[in-house]
Amino acid sequence: MQNVRFPIRVYWEDTDAGGIVYHANYLKFMERARSDLLRQLGFGQDAQRDRDDGVLFVVASLNINYHRAAKLDDDLEVVTRLEKLGRASLIFEQNIFRGKERITTGKVRIGVIGARSHMPTPIPDDLYEKIRPWAEA
């Protein structure tokens, strides 16, 4: 998969009294980028919540390294690459940059669960087929 770039502007809500972005908020930035990818593939997460055969993407594990601190008004970019596509899981590499500077590097494992059952569930075929060629790029 080619890298997909998602822009983030840093607002007051994202910062803390240290004058920098609060560490947990980078996870929100990463999630926005993943949700945007799904939306671009035509996958509406909200609609899935109400369908009997709906699926949800949940974070199964995550690790993140903090290299530099982002600040108020910063113009960041989340760079996302699908590292591995399984039948009921995905692994993303997601790094955050300010220009050329690496702010954080991270890896996120996503599990797919039934919206009703909350049990592990394969990715629906049509979505899987949309993700696959792109994963192989």
Catalytic residues: 16
Residue 127 lies near a copy of itself (rule: CB under 8 A): no
Give the whole-angstrom CA distance, residue 94 versus residue 109: 11
The 3-state secondary structure of 90-123, one letter per residue: EEEEEEEEECCEEEEEEEEEEEEEECCCCCECCC
**In the range 61-100, which residues lie near a copy of itself by CB under 8 A?**
61-66, 69, 71-74
The site that binds a copy of itself (CB under 8 A) totals a number of residues, namely 41
DSSP state of 122: P
What residue type is assigned to position 16 of the chain?
Answer: D
Joined tokens for residue 18: 């240290």
CB atoms < 10 A from the CB of 46, how many? 7
Contact, 29 vs 8, CB < 8 A? yes
**In the range 12-41, which residues lie near a copy of itself by CB under 8 A?**
12-13, 15-20, 22-25, 27-28, 31-32, 35-36, 39
Smallest separation (angstroms) from a copy of itself to the CB of 47: 8
Smallest separation (angstroms) from a copy of itself to the CB of 89: 13
- The single residue among 3, 5, 11, 41 that binds a copy of itself, judged by CB under 8 A, is 11
DSSP state of 86: -
Query: Interface residues with a copy of itself (CB under 8 A)?
Result: 9, 11-13, 15-20, 22-25, 27-28, 31-32, 35-36, 39, 44-46, 49, 56, 58-66, 69, 71-74, 118
